[in-house]
A and B are shown apart, each in its own frame.
Chain A
Amino acid sequence: MALLEIKNVSRRFGDFTAVDDVSFTVESGEFFTLLGPSGCGKTTLLRMIAGFDLPDSGAIVLDGVDLRDTPAEQRPIHTVFQSYALFPHMTVAQNIAFPLRMAGKADDEVRTRVREAVAQVKLDKLEQRYPHELSGGQKQRVALARGLVNRPRLLLLDEPLGALDAKLREQMQIELIRLQRGVGVTFVFVTHSQAEALALSHRIAVMNHGVIEQMDEPDKLYGFPKNRFVADFIGNVNMHEATVAATGGTLTLELGTLGRIAAPSREGVKAGTGGVFVIRPEQVSIRAAAEASPDPNQFEGVVNDFLYIGDVTTYIVDLPDGKRFEALLPNSAPGRAKFFEVGDHVRLSWKAEAGAFLDA
């Protein structure tokens, strides 16, 4: 049986439907992420799971029990907030001990478990500090320890890394994964950062306008987006209007005035169907125009600009009909930092299995 079941949950605020008939399940021990842009309904959903808000219709079921009549404080669910919400008048140790003390645990047990929790989040020697004497990363660790110390069935994390700088966020991501595996508590994580979602989750539900657009494992989501929104929201993508010219083992697509390309086939599409062709920049090879490529899809173009990131460079290439493609090239060749300059003539190519044809 799934740990958490969301069954046809809807929540409206006046005319605005924040969550629209959403259903999914979360398995015990899973790291599940709700990903989407602001206003997509992910936080509303999280608040309903926590019990801070109630659905207008549908059910939230934990361990087979409908939570409708269970107030927030009685749910075996803890929340870690983006703002940390540490209690400023309590020390680190008091903050972490607080849920245990309120649950009436004996002093000995409280001490042992606080010590364990402090060690788990690497806050040793900071137990007697107050929250305002801690850095953002340290506060986040206290919030995590406080959320986990009473061993909830479910830990909800509302953009917990949103307030940290990039370097620290990456470090905390690694610790979150380690922590979640270590304690075995089920996490439901809310974020608008696709990189964070991909790095952390077992499964991701991509939300938009109150509905789940796609729910999948990170690699499936990135590699096989089901629709235009998901393709665009997760990672970078080249996206161009296309019409199906022929079906068969591979799809033949008419890419406007650019010409025809071969693309992976898809069930249920007929010749003449309009849609978009999407392909990730890292699936587009780039080489000098004079060099030959074995790929069936290839076009010559001119480098319009490039973004040098360090480990990779993204080249922005204009094709003869004005279409613009991005191609990603790792800077892995020793002794060479960059391959092409603006104005260079290049050849873009990709395999027939790369990319996807999606509904417009």
Chain B
Amino acid sequence: MFLQDAPEGGVQYWELLVSGLGWTLAVSACAWVIALLLGSAIGTLRTTHRAWVTRVGNAWVELFRNIPLLVQMFLWYFVAPEFVPALKSWVIAADPAHAQFLSAVLCLGLFTSARIAEQVRAGIQSLPQGQRLAGMALGLREPQVYRYVLLPMAFRIIIPPLTSETMNLIKNSSIALTIGLAELTFRAREIGEYTFHFFEAFSAATLIYVAIAMAANRVMALVERRTAVPGYIAHGAK
């Protein structure tokens, strides 16, 4: 069935799935970079002792964590351009796929950043207070204390939840089908509708999602092993 020609554009059904997979991976990867960078920054800021910085961080986390992902997707795609005239004219002029891609990346990136920020904060706060003080006592300015003392350990500690978050992000990317982005789930449904072979189409999509998630899992496990501190974390894991 996957080798049959699709009704549009002279491609076979398997090629539709591959193109969907491409979008899924592209959205996930870009969103993951945004989520990790922003999440780390905001999580870190929330542990500093400056009241207004902490408040901004808290507001960020609450905002993106408390609105359903689907609603956020619609807000980014349908509502946000209304407020930014330049963005609106670009959305109208651009290839719809590009606007959908941008919305999906921003939506998933910011949503996940709030969750990663919480993990980073928990990671930093799980370190003994002495670590920060020792850094200061040894002459480090605050950013250096974070860069050289706190974050290296905090990230090692949060690799397991970060792995889950990465896998969640990949799976959440399927929500982008609601704004028309032709990612994997979109294509699976499309094939189902053309051929009425929903079972095969979604089985294929399921297998692909599982494969991506497992690959991400393996990569994170490798990172965890490579960065493990002898005698510290993963003590009983082997």
Q: Mark A residues whose CB is within 8 Å of B.
A: 50-52, 71-74, 77-79, 81, 83-89, 98-99, 102-103, 129-133, 146-147, 150, 156
Given the known inter-chain contacts A81-B130, A83-B128, A89-B153, please indicate yes or no for A132 contacting B232, CB distance below 8 A. yes
Pick the contact of A130: B131, B156, B229 (CB < 8 A).
Answer: B229
Rounded to whole Å, the gap between the CB of A22 and the closest CB of chain B is 21
Given the known inter-chain contacts A89-B152, A89-B153, please indicate yes or no for A81 contacting B230, CB distance below 8 A. no
Given the known inter-chain contacts A130-B230, A130-B232, A133-B231, please indicate yes or no for A85 contacting B133, CB distance below 8 A. yes
Q: Could you list some 30 contacts between A and B, CB below 8 A?
A: A50-B137, A72-B133, A72-B137, A73-B139, A73-B141, A74-B139, A77-B137, A78-B137, A79-B134, A81-B130, A81-B134, A83-B128, A85-B130, A86-B134, A87-B134, A89-B152, A89-B156, A89-B229, A98-B148, A99-B139, A102-B140, A129-B230, A130-B229, A130-B231, A130-B232, A132-B229, A132-B231, A132-B232, A133-B230, A147-B137
B59 close to chain A: CB less than 8 A:
no
Return the chain A residue nearest B139 by Cβ. Answer: A73
Q: With A and B bound together, what is the CA distance between A137 and B139 in angstroms?
A: 25
Given the known inter-chain contacts A132-B229, A132-B230, please indicate yes or no for A102 contacting B128, CB distance below 8 A. no
Chain B contacts for A84, CB-based, 8 A: 130
Q: With A and B bound together, what is the CA distance between A133 and B30 in angstroms?
A: 39
Interface size class of B (residues with CB under 8 A): 20 to 34
| Chain B residues numbered 100-118 whose CB sits less than 8 Å from any CB in chain A | none
Chain A contacts for B149, CB-based, 8 A: 87
Q: With A and B bound together, what is the CA distance between A102 and B141 in angstroms?
A: 10
Q: With A and B bound together, what is the CA distance between A71 and B135 in angstroms?
A: 13
Chain A contacts for B144, CB-based, 8 A: 102
A73 to B136, Cβ gap below 8 A?
yes
B84 close to chain A: CB less than 8 A:
no
Rounded to whole Å, the gap between the CB of B81 and the closest CB of chain A is 45
| Chain B residues numbered 198-238 whose CB sits less than 8 Å from any CB in chain A | 229-232
B136 to A150, Cβ gap below 8 A?
no
The 7 closest A-B pairs by CB, nearest first: A132-B231, A85-B130, A85-B134, A79-B137, A72-B136, A99-B138, A133-B231
